Amino acid sequence: MVRQFATTAALLGTSVLLAAGGVFAAPQHGARLSAADKKFVKEAAQGGQAEVKLGNLAVKKASSSEVKQFGQRMVDDHTKANNDFKQVAAKEGFMLPAGIGQKNQQVYDRLSKLSGTAFDKAYMSDMLKDHEQDVAAFRHQAKNGQNAAIKDFASRTLPTLEHHLQMAKDINDSHMKAHRRSMSL
């Protein structure tokens, strides 16, 4: 009985330490993640959830059908990736952080106050910057990650993020050309 208590206490201590880092290890697996893997997991999980929340906002608030369609694509693709990541986490013995994080919440709050073309421009600008960062982070994780399952998730998800980046570039270019045409009239 005392030995069982000591083992349980040790496992709980491991979970508490990992919880402080934003990634929760399930005691039965005792998943150990490097600091870089923990950072990636936290940012990828929060970012994926933010993409869904921001995509839903775009579907409601965008004035351009192209931006609305992009927002819906973010909802669909990131929901699928988020579900995939949850399965990886469950299999590897850690839980993903809940919520979108403070930085992403600030973006959401700022965008939720906009509408029409101002929303379209700000949202697509954010999506372009965000996906540039995401592609770099996922590419780095796919190449340098320590945990094989997380590394594999990054590799599988990277082509979708690269496609999102190209879509964001195309939409931004299209909107800039339209804006220049309207200014020259």
pLDDT digits (tens, 9 = 90+) for 40-86: 999 999 999 999 999 999 999 999 999 999 999 999 999 999 999 99
Q: Write the pLDDT tens digit of every residue in 49-61.
A: 999 999 999 999 9
pLDDT over threshold 60, residue 5: no
Quick one: pLDDT at residue 82?
97
- Per-residue pLDDT band for 177 (boundaries 50, 70, 90) equals low
User: In the 3-class helix/strand/coil scheme, how is the chain assigned residue by residue?
Assistant: CHHHHHHHHHHHHHHHHHHHCCCEECCCCCCCCCHHHHHHHHHHHHHHHHHHHHHHHHHHHECCHHHHHHHHHHHHHHHHHHHHHHHHHHHHCEECCCCCHHHHHHHHHHHHCCCHHHHHHHHHHHHHHHHHHHHHHHHHHHHHCCCHHHHHHHHHHHHHHHHHHHHHHHHHHHHHHHHHHHHHC
Q: What is the pTM of this model?
A: 0.80
Amino acid type, 165: L
Task: Please report, for residues 9, 15, 44, 67, the alpha-carbon distance to residue 154 in angstroms, rounded to integers and kept in the order given.
Answer: 33, 24, 9, 26
Block residue for tokens 């309207």:
182
Higher pLDDT, 180 or 175: 175
Quick one: pLDDT at residue 32?
82
Domain residues of the chain, as ranges? 34-184
User: Any idea what the Cα angle at residue 154 is, between residues 38 and 168, rounded to 5°?
Assistant: 110
Quick one: pLDDT at residue 95?
86
Quick one: pLDDT at residue 30?
43
Quick one: pLDDT at residue 31?
65
- What is the Cα 139 distance to its own chain's centre? 14
Domain 34-184 carries which CATH code?
1.20.1260.10
